[in-house]
């Protein structure tokens, strides 16, 4: 069993909540819910915090590329809703765990605390002791095969993403920018497995979503779908 599938749910919910606020907002309730999902994602696996980087991508798109995002309004203290909600989600596990370890003399619990807070998170990322792979591992060896069938639409999507960039349509580029950021984040670590990059997949799907109804009507896409179905079978 892998925890990465469960993590994927919280990442997708975090992206949806925060993305809904940025693209359709302002909607501070969804913004806070997205942050809370990221917090539960951290409990599931340390990298669950990544959806909280979505507002940073929105800021970069707005400042340096001229994109207009409805949710980028002056919210004052409300911009802290997502981080605070994430901390609340993390605290559901972190506080009882720390209290239990502090009030116990059990060395096994102390070892568990140190292992889960440091060894399996910071140390594993910065100084991985196994699964060593080159920087381009995810791009060359993981995404082309493990992201099927979604990645097979890339030849059609690239053209539509280009047109969206020219039209300053933020819907695909908010999630694409985040996916690239996540790809760079995981590629920077020497330790890599195929499931590590899984959190970027829902962002890729969300970036494709505005164009899927039109793509499904294309005969070439339907033929490709038939071929992939036969290969899978």
How far lies 66's CA from each of 45, 163, 165, 166, 172, in Å? Answer: 35, 15, 10, 11, 15
Give tens-digit pLDDT for 36-67.
999 999 999 888 999 999 999 999 999 899 89
Question: What pLDDT, on a 0 to 100 scale, did the predictor assign at position 1?
Answer: 63
Kindly report whether the peptide bond that precedes residue 149 is cis, defined as omega within 30 degrees of 0: yes
Please state the pTM of the whole predicted model: 0.87
Question: What pLDDT, on a 0 to 100 scale, did the predictor assign at position 179?
Answer: 95
Cα separation of 174 and 55, whole Å?
Answer: 9
How far lies 11's CA from each of 45, 46, 51, 175, 214, in Å? Answer: 11, 12, 6, 12, 27
Count Cβ atoms below 10 Å from residue 51 Cβ, excluding itself: 30
pLDDT higher at 126 or 95: 95
Give tens-digit pLDDT for 220-233.
999 999 999 999 89
Q: Provide the mean pLDDT of the chain.
A: 90
At residue 12, does pLDDT exceed 80? yes
Give tens-digit pLDDT for 133-154.
888 899 988 999 899 889 999 9
3-state helix, strand, coil in the chain (%, to 5): 80, 0, 20
Backbone angles phi, psi at 132, to 5 degrees: -70, 130
Burial of 130 (0-12, 13-18, 19+ CB in 10 A): exposed
Question: What pLDDT, on a 0 to 100 scale, did the predictor assign at position 88?
Answer: 96
Question: What pLDDT, on a 0 to 100 scale, did the predictor assign at position 127?
Answer: 63
């Amino acid at each position: 069993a892998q925890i990465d599938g469960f993590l994927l749910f919280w990442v997708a919910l975090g992206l949806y909540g925060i993305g809904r606020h940025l693209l359709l907002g302002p909607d501070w309730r969804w913004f806070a819910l997205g942050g809370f999902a990221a917090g539960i994602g951290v409990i599931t696996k340390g990298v669950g915090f990544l959806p909280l980087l979505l507002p940073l991508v929105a800021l970069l798109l707005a400042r340096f590329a001229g994109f207009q995002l409805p949710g980028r309004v002056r919210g004052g203290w409300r911009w802290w809703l997502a981080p605070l909600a994430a901390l609340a989600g993390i605290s559901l596990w972190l506080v009882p765990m720390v209290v239990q370890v502090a009030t116990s003399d059990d060395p096994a619990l102390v070892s568990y605390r140190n292992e889960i807070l440091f060894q399996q998170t910071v140390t594993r990322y910065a100084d991985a002791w196994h699964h060593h792979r080159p920087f381009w591992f995810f791009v060359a060896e993981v995404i082309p095969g493990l992201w099927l069938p979604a990645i097979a639409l890339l030849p059609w999507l690239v053209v539509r993403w280009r047109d969206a960039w020219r039209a300053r349509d933020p819907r695909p580029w908010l999630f694409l920018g985040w996916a690239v950021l996540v790809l760079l984040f995981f590629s920077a670590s020497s330790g890599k497995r195929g499931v590590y990059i899984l959190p970027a997949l829902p962002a890729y799907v969300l970036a494709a979503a505005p164009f899927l109804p039109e793509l499904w009507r294309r005969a070439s896409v339907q033929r490709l779908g038939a071929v992939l179905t036969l290969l899978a079978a």
